[in-house]
Amino acid sequence: QVQLVQSGPEVKRPGASVTLSCKASGYIFTTYAIHWLRQAPGQRLEWMGWINTGNGDTKYSQKFQGKVTISRDMYANTAYLELTSLTSEDTAVYYCTRGGDRFAYWGQGALVTVSS
Amino acid sequence: DIVMTQSPETLVVSLGERATISCRSSQNLLSSSNEKNYLAWYQKKPGQPPKLLFYWASTRESGVPDRFRGSGSGTDFTLTISSLQAEDVAIYYCQQYYSSPQTFGQGTKVEI
């Protein structure tokens, strides 16, 4: 069965960076994109960007350009989300989800807390 | 960006009664090329990722009970739960994937 397993929660200081992972199983990794989204406390879901897991092409929401980098390791069936220059506004649960014609499969989410 | 607006923000419904959630988009989500509405609905419970209920506005995802119904076209969409069950208590979100960035509504909290 399709599974996306994300790395664990992180606590970071303002100004730091963090890299989250999303390991896929149950399907051929390179045949579906991976998207990253986040949900800050009390806020709506926000789409951050996606990666073509086959060729590595990425597209980001303009809001997150320069803030995030999405990458993948085809051999490890894993996608990554790097966030830099963290602020308290980046405190959120971050989700990966498999692309295609719908977001049917999601990781369990990873809480990133930014606090001094 | 396309703005998605849901109403109401909170919906209190008795068990067995109907729940109706509205979602309005600031732009048309119906593609003229394939006649599909690029609109999805999700159910979200605390501590869990969103669960896809509908895509293409009205295509039910596998395993979703048939008391849930997605409808609408263009800019106005509706999620209906015909007979609310206790396990349906959640926040419901609509999402447009017609244009990038994909955007979500602010959510509708369904309570009993």
pLDDT one-digit tens code per residue, B57-104: 999 999 999 999 999 999 999 999 999 999 999 999 999 999 989 999
Distance CA B9, CA B20 (A): 12
Residues of B within 8 A of A95 (CB-CB) are: 49-50
Distance CA A72, CA A51 (A): 8
Average pLDDT for B9-25 = 97
Structure tokens that stand for B94 in this block: 């609509």
pLDDT of residue A100: 85
Distance CA B71, CA A94 (A): 29
> A7: which DSSP letter?
-
Residue A15: exposure state from Cβ atoms within 10 A (0-12, 13-18, ≥19): exposed
Residues of A within 8 A of B93 (CB-CB) are: 44-45
Instruction: Give the CA count within 13 Å in the CB-facing half-sphere of A99.
Output: 21
Q: Which of A44, A45, A101 sits opposite B55 (nearest CB)?
A: A101
